[in-house]
Structure 1
Amino acid sequence: MLFASITDPIVQLAVDVVKALGLPGVFFLMVLESACIPVPSEATMLFAGFNVSRGEYTLLAATAVGSLANLVGSWVAYGIGRAGRVDLLEKHGHKLHIKRSHLELADRWFERYGDATVFFTRMMPIVRTFISLPAGVARMHFWRFSVLTLLGCIPWVFGLTWLGVQAGERWETWRDKLHYLDYAVAAALVAGIVWLVVRRRRRARDVAEAER
């Protein structure tokens, strides 16, 4: 539970903000989460659901506020990705071993699979926080990105809030259980990165051998 222990102070901060500010606190924290700042939506929305169970506001209101906040935060990350492509990646990408061909690959990927990628990753822990950056880098159409982001955020936000309502005072138990889903996604991401690195090295080796 190392990850849980590291994030505990952030979780407690999220709870304190929602407790003190109510729905404006939910909005603030969910904007940060979608703007690539690691504030776990699980803590924010589960605790918001607990507040719903106590009658402080409705399930619909909490879901609407959390989803709209995610959209606003995603716009921030999307803008950073889009601006960073020109100011950083295209001008200085070679220093980070990022070639123009890599950017063109991202363009083709989002042109072909961008809709499904943005929509479905909004319902995945960890990935949902950062997907706006590559969407911005690939210059995905802004309003299509916005609509798919909002549609993808609603089930995630509603689900977490509903769990918080059902759990009531046991919302922290559910939060801890959801950490295992974080671990699974993180492990899959690491495995995917390792696979890509290994494949790239194999291709480079094959090319070198073919040129001999």
Structure 2
Amino acid sequence: MTELIVALVEFLKQFSYFGIMLSLCFEFIPAEVVLPLAGYWVYQGDFNYYLVVLVGAVGGTLGPLTLFYLGRYGGRPLVLKYGKYFFVSQKQINASDYFFEKYGMGVAFFARFLPVVRTAISIPCGMSNMNVWKFSVYTFFAMLPITAFYVYLGVKLGPHWNQAEEIFNGYALPFTATLIVLLLMFVLIKLLMKRKSQSL
């Protein structure tokens, strides 16, 4: 299956940056394959790193909208029936549901860094009738560092670009934890500053 996906992405390469963006619009084509491969093309001198990251983040935002609307208009029964065609398993759907219920709408950003739920998280976001623009903004700003890192790994690994997913997964959880801690610190500082100004 991976060989077939790589062949399809190689075919889309002829459309330059648009081809990279287009390949990320299809949820059945994993970003974990496309982005390191695009990084390998940067390594070969065929593309510019920063433009690949930009179109990759845009494509990585447009793609999840498919599952978002499937969740919104189809509900859980339709998702369970057709999710397999988007390479989304019931285990991923259950995990993303739990994650969404526990952490709320912020998961549209944070869940993108977690291996099991990052694809399926679009579904509960859609089912909850989350604002599509808010969902898109959260997704884009999450996809930006993910895309940059995957493409960077592809550049550095060169011909061994297919090892990128394993390396990424090793860094994803610590990165997300650090990001959450920094965000909580920021919110806490803002609250303390607000309380201090009110007491004056």
Report if TM-score (shorter chain) is over 0.5.
yes
- Number of corresponding residues: 154
Distance 1:88 1:50 in 2: 37
Distance 2:120 2:167 in 1: 18
Q: Which amino acid aligns with 2:7?
A: L
Question: Which runs of structure 2 are paired with 1:49-88 in the superposition (5 Å)?
Answer: 49-85=39-75
TM-score normalised over the length of structure 1: 0.61
SS in 2 for 1:129: coil
1:48 matches 2:38:
yes
CA distances 1:10-67 after superposition (whole Å, capped 9, x unpaired): 443244235433322211211112xxx2x22122111101111222221111111111
Find the partner of 1:178 among 158, 166, 172.
Answer: 166
1:31 matched residue in structure 2 = 25
From the superposition, tell whether residues 10 and 121 of structure 1 become closer, same or farther in structure 2 (CA, over 3 Å).
farther
Unaligned runs of 5+ in 2: 80-96, 174-200
CA contact (8 A) 2:105 2:125 kept: no
From the superposition, tell whether residues 40 and 88 of structure 1 become closer, same or farther in structure 2 (CA, over 3 Å).
closer
Q: Which amino acid aligns with 2:161?
A: W
1:119 matched residue in structure 2 = 109
Find the partner of 2:136 among 146, 151, 154.
Answer: 146
Distance 1:86 1:170 in 2: 39
Q: Which amino acid aligns with 1:161?
A: V
% same residue: 29
CA distances 1:74-129 after superposition (whole Å, capped 9, x unpaired): 2222122111139969xxxxxxxxxxxxxxxx7xx858723331111112335222
Find the partner of 1:9 among 3, 28, 41.
Answer: 3
Distance 1:126 1:29 in 2: 21
Q: CA RMSD in A?
A: 3.1
Distance 2:137 2:147 in 1: 15
TM-score normalised over the length of structure 2: 0.65
SS in 2 for 1:139: coil
From the superposition, tell whether residues 159 and 51 of structure 1 become closer, same or farther in structure 2 (CA, over 3 Å).
same
SS in 2 for 1:22: helix
Larger Rg: 1
